Amino acid sequence: MKPVNIGILGLGTVGGGTAAVLQENATEISRRLGRDVVITAVCAREEAKAKQICPNAAFERDPLTLVAREDVDVVVELFGGTTAAKDAVLAAIGHGKHIVTANKKLLAEYGNEIFRLAEEKNVMVQFEAAVAGGIPIIKALREGLAANNIKSIAGIINGTSNFILSEMREKGSAFADVLKEAQALGYAEADPTFDIEGHDAGHKITIMSALAFGTPINFNACYLEGISKLDSRDIQYAEELGYRIKLLGITRKTAKGIELRVHPTLIPESRLLANVNGVMNAVRVNADMVGETLYYGAGAGALPTASAVVADIIDIARLIGAERSNRIPHLAFQPEQVREQNLLPMSEITSSYYLRVQAKDEPGTLGKIANLLAHEGVSIEALIQKGVIDKTTAEIVILTHSTVEKNIVSAIFAIEELECVEKPIVMIRMESLHD
Amino acid sequence: MKPVNIGILGLGTVGGGTAAVLQENATEISRRLGRDVVITAVCAREEAKAKQICPNAAFERDPLTLVAREDVDVVVELFGGTTAAKDAVLAAIGHGKHIVTANKKLLAEYGNEIFRLAEEKNVMVQFEAAVAGGIPIIKALREGLAANNIKSIAGIINGTSNFILSEMREKGSAFADVLKEAQALGYAEADPTFDIEGHDAGHKITIMSALAFGTPINFNACYLEGISKLDSRDIQYAEELGYRIKLLGITRKTAKGIELRVHPTLIPESRLLANVNGVMNAVRVNADMVGETLYYGAGAGALPTASAVVADIIDIARLIGAERSNRIPHLAFQPEQVREQNLLPMSEITSSYYLRVQAKDEPGTLGKIANLLAHEGVSIEALIQKGVIDKTTAEIVILTHSTVEKNIVSAIFAIEELECVEKPIVMIRMESLHD
């Protein structure tokens, strides 16, 4: 099948990330999509840098020239802002190009106009990356939950603010100090207003509100209150009462009308949203049939955002210019690309382990056990005598570092042979969930 | 646009739920899809019950007759099991019908055969409801994360087991006792083997593994270890060491091959998965570009599962028999269905509130504040004197019950007028996140 051709507007953080994802995962993407994605043209500030990032793409200085090119099927708008971006997107739609954009401000402020023109011209405008970065929340709202009446959405959708609040809570620091730290780490802009005063979260919750309730986009109606006036004392008091303070975007359908607001919010510490820390994002959706669902992931960053941009490109590529209907394949990859891969037997998997051993409470027992583990190459993270079962028997709990399962199995077998140990030893696998 | 006609096989829990969702949310579904979904035929054990649930649908006693009907575009297989279900699905595909199924066992055991025939006959087989009930995880894996090389998946994907483990931890009860409780509550079957020994989770992680790595479905290679032998002592020791024990389905691509396994697993208590309790499900995906994402929601139940079944029907209906390309609308609802709705001003929203008041530490102050709140109809959940700022000033924290914002604003205004109170009063909104 012939490739789908894209033109990228802007090679900043997200634009560079998009080029990187398309290059790095070209094979995997083609295995799923059944065709290649080719960057045929780019528009950026510096030609030299553009040539470095996309050596095979034509360079265009003028976005309006790029969006008119015949060899561009999809225009990927990653300029940001609402001036050049708006002109380029409207012009591209005018030329019948499909659009992928990560630009929440553009959609929150001019989305109605853009979508109206897109309907007229019968083109698609996709914007997964505009809300919560790499989390496929737009897809969940438009497709996954399409059988539901959505009742409310509450989201941690600004990573900068969430990082600052997480740090204020953990360290008891003042807002101004943590902001400086966030700026040093690159988590906050030199001018952080947009993030910390709730504008960014407001754009995102406004877009989600429209998707949830079937209304036009109405950013002007969104109440915005940021975190800059939060006192760390309130964070501390809230915690003592069992709450965390998070900057939430909230929208809810009530009998009186729709609520649409961004503000610091106390939420009970037992809720999953309360435990979303650092720069991570999460969106909770409550819907009449499915109940509560929650979507968590990276809300910003070059590669996570590009993951969403490229997913949108793939969605469009399935629907356009294909020789046959290019449906989503059953097993995610094109049938001819589904292939057997080596499936590891359990003896070959890698894990860390929890062991509980009942053994005679006598000198030398621990040493013998530790030696047998070491003999199989299993290193110990913790070894704790948990309790005495009766006068002569103690219970020992061991956490191991990561090892291949056959090693721990051999070690357990050897330990069970010790005269001072009672069979069987309890073995439970552990996962750090970091990879 | 003409309706899409579906035939339902089986009107048990999920079948009944599907009929209910289609009826209850018919308007909302048509607003999104742009056409109606009509149940034209059903096959169930009891004709009388079927007529009650779907009065306008033809009743067929024989599934093979239903799947051959000309007035059925999509066959929704909700029999469960692998005998009648398999025959009916293969026959339906033979007749060129598209399939929606919630049957994880069928796909885990016969998926390769079913998908092969579906490719040959050019029909779609959708199965969102087969994994993690109402959570749109199949959509995330096949579409939302399509730009990524997926590295690993770890999921709490059996609600029965998760309920039992949550109860064992909270109450320190033994497995057998909690199992009886779960059976009484309807969370566990009379014969619970399938759930507690990991078979169900194994079916689901096997399906996700194929989607993640582009392999055929290979349930025989999945290692299964359930929770029936877990000792509540291990749950307790794990907790003392900072871990929770969860039944996880895990699949991971390693340099040596693919891991595919279900077993009780210690995970650090700070991870979101560790805090997924009761019958809820959650799936964590780690992928190269987006990093960690997590999807949480109800993994079973009539309506949550039906939410996924109907989403699949909608996906298929967008692609078949439509007079024009019926793309996913930009704002989730068909353009002509997007309409203004009343957006509430902040004064009209409903919330509970955290207030922090600095006031003179003298008799009567608390009473005056409480009276002014009561005067505006604001009831107090908690009122705590948090600390003394200096010799004469105390800090009071108040949590209110739910009220309309204009009431709390009036109350704050009145309290700030008190001579014993210092301006300004700090007000932060609270959300229980239960609706």
Helix-helix angle B302-319:B26-33, to 10 degrees: 30
Specify the pLDDT at position A322: 65
Task: Please list every residue in chain B whose beta carbon sits closer than 8 Å to the beta carbon of residue A32.
Answer: 142, 146, 214
Angle ∠(A208,A211,A213) on CA atoms, nearest 5: 105
Do the Cβ atoms of B311 and A33 come within 8 Å?
no
Min Cα–Cα distance to chain A from B103, Å: 15
A387 is in an annotated binding site: no
User: B405: closest CA among B342, B341, B353, B356?
Assistant: B353
ipTM for the predicted complex: 0.95
Catalytic residue positions of A, numbered: 204
Task: Please list every residue in chain B whose beta carbon sits closer than 8 Å to the beta carbon of residue A168.
Answer: none
Specify the pLDDT at position A346: 94
pLDDT of A389 higher than 80: no
pLDDT band at A75 (very low <50, low <70, confident <90, very high): very high
* B266-305 pLDDT per residue, tens: 999 999 999 999 999 999 999 999 999 999 999 999 999 9
Min Cα–Cα distance to chain A from B36, Å: 12
Rounded Cα gap, residues A414 and A304, in angstroms: 46
Q: Which of B144, B151, B309 sits opposite A139 (nearest CB)?
A: B144
* A332-375 pLDDT per residue, tens: 999 899 999 999 999 999 999 999 999 998 889 999 999 999 99
Do the Cβ atoms of B291 and A304 come within 8 Å?
yes
What number of CA atoms fall less than 13 Å from residue A15's CA on the CB side?
Answer: 25
Specify the pLDDT at position A326: 74
B12 is in an annotated binding site: yes
The residues near A119 (Cβ < 8 Å, ≥ 6 apart) are B330, B335
Do the Cβ atoms of B343 and A258 come within 8 Å?
yes
Tokens, residue A237? 């008091």
Do the Cβ atoms of A311 and B147 come within 8 Å?
yes
Task: Please list every residue in chain A whose beta carbon sits closer than 8 Å to the beta carbon of residue B428.
Answer: 230, 234, 238, 245, 263-266
> Chains A, B: CB contacts under 8 A, how many?
416
Task: Please list every residue in chain A whose beta carbon sits closer than 8 Å to the beta carbon of residue B34.
Answer: none
Do the Cβ atoms of A119 and B335 come within 8 Å?
yes
pLDDT of B66 higher than 90: yes
CA A64 to chain centre: 32
Specify the pLDDT at position A395: 93
* B254-268 pLDDT per residue, tens: 999 999 999 999 999
* A264-290 pLDDT per residue, tens: 999 999 999 999 999 999 999 999 999
Bridge partner residues of B394 (DSSP): B359, B388
* B180-219 pLDDT per residue, tens: 999 999 999 999 999 999 999 999 999 999 999 999 999 9
Does residue B206 contact residue B127 with C-beta atoms inside 8 Å? no
B265 is in an annotated binding site: no
Q: Which of A275, A290, A293 sits opposite B275 (nearest CB)?
A: A275
Percentage with pLDDT > 70 across chain B = 99
Rounded Cα gap, residues B415 and B398, in angstroms: 13
pLDDT band at A325 (very low <50, low <70, confident <90, very high): low
pLDDT of A380 higher than 80: yes
Do the Cβ atoms of A291 and B284 come within 8 Å?
no
Percentage with pLDDT > 90 across chain A = 92
Min Cα–Cα distance to chain A from B216, Å: 6
Specify the pLDDT at position B47: 97
* A199-212 pLDDT per residue, tens: 999 999 999 999 99
Does residue A412 contact residue A427 with C-beta atoms inside 8 Å? yes
pLDDT band at A140 (very low <50, low <70, confident <90, very high): very high
Catalytic residue positions of B, numbered: 204
Q: Which of A21, A307, A338 sits opposite B214 (nearest CB)?
A: A338
A125 is in an annotated binding site: no
Q: DSSP of B223-243, one letter per residue?
A: EE--STT--HHHHHHHHHTTE
Chain A interface disruption, residue of B290, B351, B353, most A CBs within 10 A: B290
Rounded Cα gap, residues A155 and A149, in angstroms: 18
Per-chain mean pLDDT for chain B: 95
* B323-334 pLDDT per residue, tens: 556 788 999 999
Residue ranges and CATH numbers for the domains of chain B are: 4-133+303-337 (3.40.50.720), 137-298 (3.30.360.10), 346-430 (3.30.70.260)
Do the Cβ atoms of A294 and B289 come within 8 Å?
no
Specify the pLDDT at position A324: 57
User: A104: closest CA among A219, A271, A248?
Assistant: A219
Specify the pLDDT at position B435: 76
